[in-house]
Amino acid sequence: MMQETTIDRPIMPLRPTSFPRERPSRTADDLAGRPPKISVDHLNFYYGPKQALSDVTLMIPQHCVTALIGPSGCGKSTFLRCLNRMNDMIDNTRVEGEIILDGRSILGPKVDVVALRKRVGMVFQKSNPFPKSVFENVAYGPRVAGVRGKSVLYEIVEKSLVRAALWDEVKDRLNDSALQLSGGQQQRLCIARALATNPDVLLMDEPASALDPASTSRIEDLIFELRDRYTIVIVTHNMQQAARVSDQTAFFYQGELIEAGSTNELFTNPARKQTEDYITGRFG
Amino acid sequence: MSNSVIDVAPHGRFGIEGQAVRPRRWGEQVIGVALFGCALVSILTTVGIVIVLVAEAAQFFREVSIWEFLTGTEWSPKLENKFGILPLLCGTLLVMAGAAVIALPIGLLSAIYLSEYASSSVREVVKPVLEVLAGIPSVVFGYLAIVTISPLVRTIFPSAGVFNAASASIVVGFMVLPMVVSLSEDILRAVPRSLREAAYALGATKLDVTVKVVVPAAISGIVAAFLLALSRAIGETMAVALAAGNRPTLTINPLDEVQTMTAYIVQVSQGDTPAGTLEYRTIFAVGLALFVTTMFLNVLAQWFVARVREKYE
């Protein structure tokens, strides 16, 4: 927790140094012109009697990076986990509202959650490779999806590792245990594993918060590269990171979506006072 | 942590990275000694038992060669002076194997159900019931074997005797079942939640997650749980003494009457065998054999548990 506060509270000259950034963000007009990949409509979410999300409405445009920011406990991770129904695994939760992915609702008991999760991949805060070989980790998703045949699997594994910018480092160690990789490599392995099921959407829950600056920077480069192929939603505690990698930013506070907009605009010209206070480090 | 003794100590017995440390307080030392004393009780008991076992067994092996003891195929210490432990060992392993056939699959599947599938409300009912099962005295199980299970076995297999290894196996299987379930369940639940989430997030079904992630990750611990349960099954006395019979038989037919090592010890201890005789010393020789067998299983189990730890730490 200590670490979070130090990351969250830089009284930072965010505006002058962060822009223009090295990787160009998509403009507000570009975002508006894109079809929504996911649209969330009046979403409420409850853990037992406690409401964790109140009336969240947000469009997530295709092939863009959407960053969810906000202080701890603001509901951004809960929101992320609604998008692939990971919250189903927690007892005693309730969801209201609507989430539409490619024109179809993903809420409700009739939705095939297994199929949904193949389309909406997820990368977690703490890298969590299976205690298996590098190859088997990446091949897990395709295998449970019914892909058989070593050569087909190998092709998928190679492609996924290449996309996750890990192939060159592990191509000679595919049969080594994934737990022998460094922290940054493990996280990229988890990204490769998520890519191997060929999803459209990639959810990332603070993917770099446990990594050193060099590994963080590699993950950020990777997110930028993946943007043209996948729709990415990333939760981050680190506002500079949101500013560096995202096209759209959504600021959550106490379960509500306070403000969402193009990253450029939100960081340079926030519409709401709370957003401004948060991004300038006045609270967090 | 910064106001601990380490910072302020002027001089003392332990130096940590060159810093002197104040000697521990009086009370601390007294508590340390008292706790050590408690630990010593179990250590001394173990050492004492091992010494007695080995000493008496040594007396026995002065008269009977170890070779004869380990390879002889007949056990008839009273009438024929035949001291081959194989029939007793065989009876023990036969009962253990039968118990394993019952307890391991049922136990593992129950544990998987409880840890992966059951809702917390089901778990709250099932776990106490298992504890009750674990708390039933073994003599009750033995009685149950004679009045219920043995007749059942004989209805199905008319060739079986009143006392047979199968009935003993079945009751011992049920006796160790709670242990298998609760140890395995603990181990399955210890598999980090993050691994399950990773698998679910990849579109795995509950069965995929269980079979391909959770059980493989826990396999060493499950094996350890199995071994501990088997070791318990081997040491089980009352139920097998009642149900399996008292005739040392070298057989692998579960319908035969057999005598296990534990049942033999009970039989001789109960009788009026005078201390100091060779027959009396057989108890210690058999006891030592039993001790070595269960210790072997326990050590093996420890080894598997250590492997689990390595994996997650």
Among A28, A38, A15, which residue's Cα sits nearest to residue A84?
A38
B12 confidence band (pLDDT: 50, 70, 90): very low
Alpha carbon of A128: minimum distance to chain B alpha carbons (Å): 6
Residue A245: exposure state from Cβ atoms within 10 A (0-12, 13-18, ≥19): buried
ipTM of this complex:
0.85
B249 confidence band (pLDDT: 50, 70, 90): confident
- For residue A158, the SS3 value is helix
Categorise residue A198: left if φ over 0, alpha if ψ from -120 to 50, beta otherwise: left
pLDDT digits (tens, 9 = 90+) for B94-122: 999 999 999 999 999 999 999 999 988 89
- CA distances to A220, B96, B182 from B99, in Å: 56, 5, 17
With an 8 Å Cβ cutoff, the interface of chain B facing chain A consists of 119-120, 192, 194-205, 208, 212-213, 216-217, 311
pLDDT (average), residues B165-181: 93
Which residue segments constitute the domains of chain B, with CATH numbers given? 5-63 (no CATH), 75-312 (1.10.3720.10)
Q: How many CB atoms lie within 10 A of CB B5?
A: 12
A15 near B CB under 8 A: no
Q: Residue A6's pLDDT is what?
A: 44
User: Is residue B3's pLDDT more than 60?
Assistant: no
Alpha carbon of B207: minimum distance to chain A alpha carbons (Å): 10
Q: Considering only alpha carbons, which residue of chain A is nearest residue B214?
A: A130
A8 confidence band (pLDDT: 50, 70, 90): very low
pLDDT (average), residues B202-217: 92
pLDDT digits (tens, 9 = 90+) for B190-202: 999 999 999 999 9
Q: Residue A16's pLDDT is what?
A: 37
Q: Residue B239's pLDDT is what?
A: 87
pLDDT digits (tens, 9 = 90+) for A31-75: 888 888 999 999 999 999 999 999 999 999 999 999 999 998 899
Alpha carbon of A59: minimum distance to chain B alpha carbons (Å): 22
User: Is residue B9's pLDDT more than 60?
Assistant: no
Q: In terms of pLDDT, which residue wins out, A185 or B11?
A: A185
Mutation for A interface: B120, B200, B202, most A CBs within 10 A: B202
Do A39 and A222 form a contact (C-beta atoms < 8 A)? Answer: no
Alpha carbon of A142: minimum distance to chain B alpha carbons (Å): 9
Q: Residue A19's pLDDT is what?
A: 46
Share of chain A residues as helix, strand and coil, in percent rounded to the nearest 5: 40, 25, 35
A184 near B CB under 8 A: no
Among A48, A98, A56, which residue's Cα sits nearest to residue A75?
A56
- For residue B11, the SS3 value is coil
pLDDT (average), residues B210-237: 90
Q: Residue B313's pLDDT is what?
A: 45
**Beta A93-101 vs A248-253: how paired, if at all?**
unpaired
pLDDT (average), residues B263-285: 86
Q: Residue A21's pLDDT is what?
A: 58
Q: Residue A15's pLDDT is what?
A: 44
Alpha carbon of A233: minimum distance to chain B alpha carbons (Å): 15
**Cα–Cα dist B239/B304, whole Å:** 29
Mutation for B interface: A93, A116, A140, most B CBs within 10 A: A140
Sorted by where each begins, the domain ranges of chain A are 2-128+191-279
Q: Considering only alpha carbons, which residue of chain A is nearest residue B118?
A: A91
Q: Residue A29's pLDDT is what?
A: 82
Tokens 């081997």, located at residue: B234
Comparing CB atoms, the residue among A91, A117, A131 nearest residue B202 is A117
Do B141 and B213 form a contact (C-beta atoms < 8 A)? Answer: no
Q: Residue A41's pLDDT is what?
A: 94
Q: Which residues of A touch B120 (CB under 8 A)?
A: 91
A90 near B CB under 8 A: no
Per the DSSP assignment, residues forming a β-bridge with A95 are A45
Q: Residue B76's pLDDT is what?
A: 85
Q: Considering only alpha carbons, which residue of chain B is nearest residue A130?
A: B195
Do B163 and B231 form a contact (C-beta atoms < 8 A)? Answer: no
pLDDT digits (tens, 9 = 90+) for A141-161: 999 999 999 999 999 999 999
Q: Considering only alpha carbons, which residue of chain B is nearest residue A138?
A: B202
Contacts of B147 (CB under 8 A, 6+ apart): none
Please name the residue ranges forming H helices in chain A: 2-8, 14-18, 28-33, 76-82, 113-119, 134-144, 150-163, 167-170, 183-195, 213-226, 239-245, 263-268, 273-279
Q: How many CB atoms lie within 10 A of CB A271?
A: 12
pLDDT (average), residues B172-186: 93
Do B205 and B106 form a contact (C-beta atoms < 8 A)? Answer: no
Task: Please judge whether A197 and B212 are an interchain contact, meaning their C-beta atoms are less than 8 angstroms apart.
Answer: no
Among A84, A103, A106, A107, which residue's Cα sits nearest to residue A94?
A107
Tokens 């922290």, located at residue: A183
Among A193, A106, A197, which residue's Cα sits nearest to residue A146?
A197
Q: Residue A99's pLDDT is what?
A: 95
Q: Which residues of A touch B203 (CB under 8 A)?
A: 114-118, 141, 144-145, 197
Q: Which residues of B touch A128 (CB under 8 A)?
A: 192, 194-195, 197-198
pLDDT (average), residues B44-51: 94
Do A72 and A136 form a contact (C-beta atoms < 8 A)? Answer: no
Q: How many CB pairs under 8 A join A and B?
A: 71
Q: Residue B280's pLDDT is what?
A: 87
Residue B179: exposure state from Cβ atoms within 10 A (0-12, 13-18, ≥19): buried
Task: Please judge whether B199 and A179 are an interchain contact, meaning their C-beta atoms are less than 8 angstroms apart.
Answer: no
Count H helices and E strands in chain A, helices first.
13, 10
User: Is residue B20's pLDDT more than 70?
Assistant: no
Task: Please judge whether A118 and B202 are an interchain contact, meaning their C-beta atoms are less than 8 angstroms apart.
Answer: yes
pLDDT (average), residues B274-282: 85
pLDDT (average), residues A126-150: 92
Q: Residue B8's pLDDT is what?
A: 44
Per the DSSP assignment, residues forming a β-bridge with B82 are B76
Worst-scoring range by mean pLDDT, A21-30, B238-247, B263-272, B283-292? Answer: A21-30
Among A210, A88, A115, which residue's Cα sits nearest to residue B196?
A88
Task: Please judge whether B208 and A144 are an interchain contact, meaning their C-beta atoms are less than 8 angstroms apart.
Answer: yes
Task: Please judge whether B200 and A144 are an interchain contact, meaning their C-beta atoms are less than 8 angstroms apart.
Answer: no
pLDDT (average), residues A88-99: 90
Classify A2-128+191-279 by CATH class.
Answer: alpha beta
Burial B7-39 (b: 16+ CB within 10 A, else e): eebeeeeeeeeeeebeeeeeeeeeeeeeeeeee
Worst-scoring range by mean pLDDT, A16-20, A145-149, B181-185? Answer: A16-20
pLDDT (average), residues B56-69: 90
A32 near B CB under 8 A: no
> Can you list the pairs that A2-10 forms with residues at least 24 positions away whose Cβ atoms lie under 8 Å?
A4/A72, A4/A237, A5/A284, A7/A209, A7/A237, A7/A238, A8/A71, A8/A237, A8/A239, A8/A281, A8/A284, A9/A281, A9/A284, A10/A240, A10/A281
Q: Residue B220's pLDDT is what?
A: 87
Tokens 């692998």, located at residue: B252
Q: Residue A190's pLDDT is what?
A: 95
Worst-scoring range by mean pLDDT, A224-233, B138-147, B286-295, B301-310? Answer: B301-310
Task: Please judge whether A114 and B204 are an interchain contact, meaning their C-beta atoms are less than 8 angstroms apart.
Answer: yes
pLDDT digits (tens, 9 = 90+) for A181-232: 998 999 999 999 999 999 999 999 999 888 888 888 888 988 998 999 999 9
pLDDT (average), residues B32-56: 94
A89 near B CB under 8 A: yes
User: Is residue B74's pLDDT more than 80?
Assistant: yes
Comparing CB atoms, the residue among A89, A115, A128 nearest residue B203 is A115
A76 near B CB under 8 A: no
User: Is residue A269's pLDDT more than 60?
Assistant: yes
Alpha carbon of B194: minimum distance to chain A alpha carbons (Å): 6
Do A118 and B202 form a contact (C-beta atoms < 8 A)? Answer: yes
- The CA-to-CA distance between both ends of chain A, in Å, stands at 12
Residue B129: exposure state from Cβ atoms within 10 A (0-12, 13-18, ≥19): exposed
